[in-house]
Amino acid sequence: MRMRFIADMMLGRLARWLRLYGYDTLYGVEDDDEIIRVASQEGRVILTRDSGLAGRAGRLGVEVFLLKSNSLEGQVEELKELGVRFGRLLPSKARCPKCNGPIRIAPKEAVRGKVPECVYERYEEFYVCERCGQIYWPGRQWTEMLKVDKKLRRES
């Protein structure tokens, strides 16, 4: 079974990227006790840069990865060393970077009127989050994300 995470408030960028790589990653829980409780109940690994949180979680038997790097690239490298795998960035395997919901392919006709007309005419490939309804397509932002993806996977 694939690892599931809960990231503390210092790791928002990493949380979004883990979601893009298909990892079920909770983010936005501000209280350390709540992070530990959720991780324990749901079998999630805590991701943190806070040594106090990491120490408390560890003493309670909750799996925790204490990250040292401030940069996304450094954090990804640390996770790789801990056994987290980063495959190719594929929209059909991603989770919504906004809400962590599963993303599925959406028929083009299903997004008509929900995306700008110029986007509808230009693209054939669309994805929708099953939880929040956010619609994605492989536009300019996707091209930029692929550049970051190559950099992250090349860091090994």
- My answer on whether 74 and 115 are in the same domain is no
Q: Rounded CA gap, 19 and 23, in Å? A: 5
Query: For 110-144, how does the pLDDT look when each residue is reduced to its tens digit (9 = 90+)?
Result: 999 999 999 999 999 999 999 999 999 998 888 88
Judgement on whether residues 118 and 77 belong to the same structural domain of the protein: no
CATH of the domain at 30: 3.40.50
98 found inside a domain: no
The 10s digit of each residue's pLDDT in 1-37 is 689 999 999 999 999 999 999 999 999 999 999 999 9
Residues contacting residue 84 through CB under 8 Å, at least 6 positions apart: 3, 23
* Inside any domain, residue 96: no
CA distance 135 to 66: 34
Report long-range pairs for 82-91 (Cβ below 8 Å, ≥24 apart).
84/3, 84/23, 86/21, 86/152, 86/153, 87/21, 87/22, 88/149, 88/153, 89/20, 89/21, 89/145, 89/146, 89/149, 90/22, 91/125, 91/127, 91/136, 91/138, 91/142
Domain count, the chain: 2
Q: Which residue range is the domain that position 134 belongs to?
A: 103-154
pLDDT tens-digit readout, 36-82: 999 999 999 999 999 999 999 999 999 999 999 999 999 999 999 99
Asked whether residue 9 is domain-assigned, the answer is yes
Boundary of a domain, candidates 46, 81, 116: 81
In a domain, 97, yes or no: no
Alpha carbons 67 and 52: distance in angstroms, whole number: 12
Q: Report the predicted TM-score, pTM, of the whole model to 2 decimal places.
A: 0.91
| Residue 41: per-residue pLDDT | 98
Is the separation of the CB atoms in 129 and 96 below 8 Å? yes
110 shares a domain with 75: no
Confidence at residue 42, expressed as pLDDT on a 0 to 100 scale: 97
Same-domain status, 11 and 75? yes
16, part of any domain: yes
